[in-house]
């Protein structure tokens, strides 16, 4: 059986991505640009959908998000 969501969300890192982005004073477009420079093709809409929890996040995307936000991966996986 495939599980497509967890407590109604497609990821558990969205809220923490938003928190990390805001701590850095970045817009979603800023983060998307940094991700693209890191070799991960995400646009602003994808960042928005990640933050809302309606888009899956691949492991390589999670690692790149952590690098772009200058936080450990564990930060993105913590519960709020």
Report pTM.
Answer: 0.93
CA terminus-to-terminus distance, the chain: 28
Tens of pLDDT along 6-56? 889 999 999 999 999 999 999 999 999 999 999 999 999 999 999 999 999
pLDDT band for 3, please (50, 70, 90 cuts): low
- Cα 64 from chain centre: 9
Supply the pLDDT for residue 70. Answer: 98
In angstroms, rounded to a whole number, what is the distance separating the alpha carbons of residues 5 and 55? Answer: 10
Q: How confident is the model at residue 4 (pLDDT cuts 50, 70, 90)?
A: confident
Alpha carbons 74 and 49: distance in angstroms, whole number: 20
Burial environment of residue 9 by CB neighbours within 10 A (0 to 12, 13 to 18, 19 or more): middle
């Amino acid at each position: 059986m495939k599980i497509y969501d967890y407590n109604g969300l497609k990821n558990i890192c969205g809220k923490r991505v938003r928190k990390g982005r805001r701590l850095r004073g970045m817009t979603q477009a800023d983060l998307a640009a940094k991700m693209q420079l890191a070799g991960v093709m995400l646009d602003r809409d994808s960042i928005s959908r990640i933050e809302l929890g309606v888009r899956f996040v691949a492991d390589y995307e999670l690692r790149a998000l952590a690098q772009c936000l200058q936080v450990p991966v564990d930060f993105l996986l913590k519960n709020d």
